[in-house]
Structure 1
Amino acid sequence: MTTHVQRLAAFAAGCRDAGVPTEVHDDVIGRILDVLGNCLAAYADPDAAPDAESGGPGEGAAPAVLRAVRRWGGSPEATAIGSGDRLPAPSAALVNGTLAHALDFDDTHLPSVLHPSAPVVPAALTAAEAAGASGSTLIAAVAAGIEVCNRLGMASYLPEARNSLFFDKGQHATSICGTIGAAVAAGLVSGLDAGGLAHAAGIAASMGSGLLEANRTGGSVKRAHCGWAAHAGVSAAVLAAEGLTGPPTVLEGRFGFFQAWIDGRFDAGALLSGLGERWELLRTVYKPYPSNHFTHPGVDCALALRARGLDPAGIEEVELGVAAPVLRTIAEPYEEKIRPRTPYHAKFSGPYTVAAALLGGGGLGLALDDFVELDPARLALAARVRCVADERASELFPRSFAAVLRVRLADGSMLEHRVDSSRGGPEHPLSRAEQALKFRASAGRALAPDQVEALIEAAGRLPDRDGVASLARLTVVPR
């Protein structure tokens, strides 16, 4: 009897050996560019900026990871985005995956609420560079890895629970499921057959982890979750190639993945049905704002009220109604959310992000510059924002992120705006022009305009013989 991991591995091998649909192929190129843009923006982030004199890494999670891998040393196999360090593939994946997730600007799959590209693309890219794989193989590997990651997330979403079972336990599904997706992607570009891919996934299942408490009370470790998932995925693929094996029932077994993480409650149909025909990859949406995705509908409401002429100077009180399950992430503990400790912590605050949108923002509505420092005026307004559970938003969650914003003005009048699906979500996806605007703005924080355009061109030429190497070279920031 074919086990769950063996079926996923056979699907993944088919993506490489028989190719993927044109729609999926084209979509993956966009995913790769989005990740590279996020990585470059994170490399140029003020708390991660290289030291002007030494050229060494600055403060923050990504620089800490870069310092660590430099201490470890090893064979120069793959490129660290931004710095250009040549590192062992697992170490490069650790750096690049951390950069990909560091600004919380990475894409999201619904209703699993996973960020699949952040662990999978860095793992696939570094492993492909190390193996000398073709761009076409890289594209197929990213497609397969993201699909496996999303399918694992979908299996953990039970409609009667109206939430991911991982999140109910405070587990970071992205880093847990992403480790297995990363292993599949890295194994594909490394040349593993279906049997080897099953072993890589089986090994990786013992490596994934991630707790979400940092979303609530601070700490920079969450930024490294996707880096560690990418590192573990590449490592698992290498170990499988060298002969280490994984259990065939690693997913559904008595002591397997689903039993260990979510008490054996999972949807096997969501995991396996329609593989290669119905692509969960294509349901993965891009973020327009660099903040936790649960904050986005509140930002949309605030921007809409501003567009209607709301003067923030007249605001007396604000009520943000959101889905009940997201309150623990963006509204609790209350004192932490109305006065976040760091700009990164502010990305997980419903009150602060609403205040930032009401007082002005850049880019597509809120931009990276809006989270460079904590603004006193925004903090003062955030203290007037109260977050509550909204029945309609709770009904729609997590298939879409909805919110209602009610503003009471000093003259006693009330303004209200509701959204049932946030911008960038399934019903309002970003256009290709908006995706391009986001990429150019993100990558342009680290690279000159001509290098940004060259990177876009190189992504379009990925199927070329030297596509992977060309892409990697263009991610290095000149000193």
Structure 2
Amino acid sequence: MTTGTLTQQLGAFASATRRDGAPADVRASVRMRILDILGLQVAATGLDTSRAALDFVASQGGTGQAHTVGLAEALPATWAAFAGGVLAHSLDYDDTHLPSVLHPSASVVPAALAVAEAEQASGAALQDAVGVGIEVVVRLGMAGYDLTSRNSVFFEHGQHATSICGAMGAAVASAMLLDLDESGITNALGVAASMASGILEANRTGGTVKRLHCGWAAHAGVTAATMVKHGFTGAPTALEGRFGFFRAFLHDGVDPEVVVGGLGENWSVPGIFFKPYPANHFTHTGIDAARRMRAAGVTPDLVESAVLGVAGPTVRTIGQPLEVKQAPDTGYQAQFSGPYTVAAGLFGGSGLGLGLDDFTDVLAQDPDRRRLMSKVTVEADAECEAIFPFQFPAVLTLRTTDGSTLVERVMVNRGGPDDPLSPDELRVKYTENATRVLDAGTAADVADRIDDLDVADSISAIADAVAQPMR
């Protein structure tokens, strides 16, 4: 795939994959990502923003084509994708690609599930569409990764790469499932480029709008592909053109090899990190360091003081302002607190070490945890910074009440290629999330059906099982 514009090369890649099928390891990874996203969607149904999203899509009307978690009635595929994307990203528990630091599955999987149900596509077709969609998200995200500064240009411009690139990947996945040809898939990318959006100001000053970003990206992707099916076309140079996607979002030149080099041969999908804990990814190695200390016999009452050393760029997210991070008011704030997550690891938790039940408003305000949090500071560490952002390492240095100093280094993230979660561990995560709403039998049936997607004629049974009103 070395000829044509970048969008045309991506369209050719998607068309070839639909014809030949994605590699077995890619399909296996996709099945785990679908399972992960469905569990997160179910677990997220109790959030105020989830209720708002579900009420909103239920009020829009239209022909029922597909289901979403949390509603019994079928919706237009565009709105099923929107609701699914909102639920998928709302718990900050979805997968992460490094070093681009974006979350590729939360837009692509909901879009693909909605279109696959509407079109009665096979399980194999769903897997291939999701795999290609995620690959497109990652490659466009990496187009915005600056090797020199080791940072995302999208982020520096205030843009949410997860939703911007997610709309593009969702469009490709949707176009494949709508049976568009190579030209149609290319056009879907071109149309979606005018729909991609998302700014990050709410991360600084408040607001829940970020929770709808992946929903809007999924909605945009399905809409773009459907509009192409009805006759719309996109610019063939929508990515690299003078007024295209890259110029609009990234401003400077982009290496085209990052986007199309090794397409169909070198897949990023299997190497994307799963999140074992429902917290900002920068906190995870600190959690693991604390858990290791707990396993070695360190209890909260033995802590005199602790320093969490992390890469400098992450301090502002999980360690500043320190007085706020040491006393979060809500479980959501606790997800972004280095002191809280270290404390939670030392207290011990649920699921794969820490689960959703360890991030509640009550626990964030618990006097014993706040006492421990007040002893934890967050500082930049040169060793960690040398590795970042290919991993988010941590060095936890703890001084005990008897004067001893303990040090625990965690240089790789659990859930990534160097310390992967096994299929059994991912099923534990899914089950803990899904059974917050679904009964154990239904949750297990959904997981079994996802395991069998290679031979499934359709996904209707999965869609019906998770499309239950919230309780």
Alignment of 1:172-251 (within 5 A): 172-251=160-239
C-alpha contact (below 8 Å) 1:199/1:246 kept by paired residues: yes
Q: Select between 293-302 and 164-173 the one with higher mean Cα deviation.
A: 164-173
For 1:427 and 1:129, locate their aligned partners in 2 and report how far apart those are by CA, in whole Å: 35
SS of the equivalent of 2:126 reads helix
> Given the alignment of the two structures, is residue 295 of structure 1 paired with residue 295 of structure 2, yes or no?
no
Residue 34 (structure 1) aligns with: 36
> Contact (CA 8 Å) 1:215, 1:345: kept in 2 or not?
no
Structure 2 residue identity aligned to 1:68 = F
Equivalent residues in 2 for 1:95-174 (5 A)? 95-174=83-162
Equivalent-residue separation in structure 1 for 2:251 and 2:362 (angstroms): 40
Amino acid at match of 2:406: L
1:434-468 CA-to-partner distances (Å, cap 9, x unmatched) read 11211121112111111112112211332445431
Equivalent of 1:368, from 344, 356, 359? 356
Match of 1:83, SS state, is: coil
Partner of 1:467: 458
- In the alignment, the residues of structure 1 paired with residue 243 and residue 342 of structure 2 have an alpha-carbon distance, to the nearest angstrom, of 44
Contact 1:92–1:126 (8 Å) recurs in 2? yes
1:310-329 matched pairs, under 5 angstroms = 310-329=298-317
Q: Which amino acid aligns with 1:5?
A: T
Residue range with higher mean Cα deviation, 448-457 or 216-225: 216-225
Distance 1:291 1:110 in 2: 16
Question: CA separation in 1, counterparts of 2:206 and 2:356?
Answer: 19
Whole-Å separation in 2 of the counterparts to 1:357 and 1:225: 30
1:280 aligns with 2:268: yes
Q: Report the CA distance shift for 1:135/1:323 in structure 2 as closer, same or farther (over 3 A).
A: same
1:337, distance to aligned residue in structure 2 (A): 2.4
1:9 and 2:11 matched: yes
1:372-391 counterparts in 2 under 5 A?
372-375=360-363, 376=366, 377-391=368-382
Question: CA separation of 1:110/1:329 partners in 2, compared to 1, >3 Å: closer, same or farther?
Answer: same
SS of aligned partner of 1:78: coil
Q: Note if contact 1:156-1:262 (Cα within 8 Å) is conserved in structure 2.
A: yes
How far the C-alpha of 1:171 sits from its partner, in A, is 2.2
**Would the alpha carbon gap of residues 348 and 209 (structure 1) be closer, same or farther in structure 2, given more than 3 Å must change?**
farther
RMSD: 1.8
Q: Deviations over 1:102-140 (max 9, x none)?
A: 111111112211211111000001011112222221111
**Does the C-alpha gap of structure 1 residues 167 and 379 become closer, same or farther in structure 2, counting only changes over 3 Å?**
farther
CA distance in 2, matches of 1:410, 1:211: 45
Residue pairs, 1:351-430, within 5 angstroms: 351-375=339-363, 376=366, 377-430=368-421
* Structure 1 portions without partners, runs of 5+: 49-59
Per-residue deviation, residues 400-428 of structure 1 (Å, max 9, x unmatched): 11011112233433221111102112210
Check the 8 A contact 1:156/1:265 in 2, yes or no: no
Counterparts of 2:92 and 2:322, CA distance in 1: 21
Would you say the 8 A contact 1:216–1:348 is kept in 2?
no
Instruction: Give me the TM-score of the superposition, normalised by structure 2.
Output: 0.94
Alignment partner, residue 57 of structure 1: none
> Quick one: which amino acid aligns to residue 284 of structure 2?
H
Measured after TM superposition, the shift of residue 162 of structure 1 is: 1.4
Question: In 2, Cα distance between the equivalents of 1:291 and 1:242?
Answer: 41
Q: 1:443 aligns with which of 420, 434, 438?
A: 434
Provide the rounded CA distance (Å) in 2 between the counterparts of 1:228 and 1:103. 16
Deviations 1:191-231 (A, max 9, x none): 11111111111111222222334444543222221111111
Contact 1:461 1:467 in 2 (8 A): no
Give the equivalent residue in structure 1 for 2:53: 65
- The answer to whether the Cα contact below 8 Å between 1:163 and 1:397 also exists between their aligned partners in 2 is no
Q: Distance in 1 between matches of 2:140 and 2:166?
A: 9
> Partner letter of residue 408 of structure 2?
H
For residues 112 and 156 of structure 2, the distance between their equivalents in structure 1, rounded to whole angstroms, comes to: 30
Q: Is 1:339 matched up with 2:344?
A: no
- After superposition, the C-alpha distances for 1:120-164 in whole angstroms (9 at most, x for unaligned) are 000001011112222221111001100101111122223222122
Alignment partners' CA distance in 2, 1:79 and 1:28: 20
Asked if 2 retains the 8 angstrom alpha-carbon contact of 1:192 and 1:241, the reply is: yes
- Runs (4+) of structure 1 exceeding 6 A deviation are none
Aligned to 1:458: 449
Is 1:155–1:269's contact at 8 Å kept on the other side of the alignment?
Answer: no
SS across alignment from 2:103? coil
Distance, in Å, in 1 between the alignment partners of 2:137 and 2:227 is 20
Q: Could you tell me which residue of structure 2 aligns to residue 51 of structure 1?
A: none
Counterpart of 2:278 in 1: which secondary structure?
Answer: coil
- 8 A Cα contact 1:216 1:328, kept in partner: no
Evaluate the alpha carbon distance shift between residue 82 and residue 68 of structure 1 in structure 2; reply closer, same or farther with a 3 A threshold: closer
Q: 8-17 or 207-216: which moved more?
A: 207-216
Q: Secondary structure at the match of 1:467?
A: coil
1:56 corresponds to: none
Q: In structure 1, what is the Cα distance between the partners aligned to 2:224 and 2:432?
A: 35
CA distance in 2, matches of 1:224, 1:473: 23
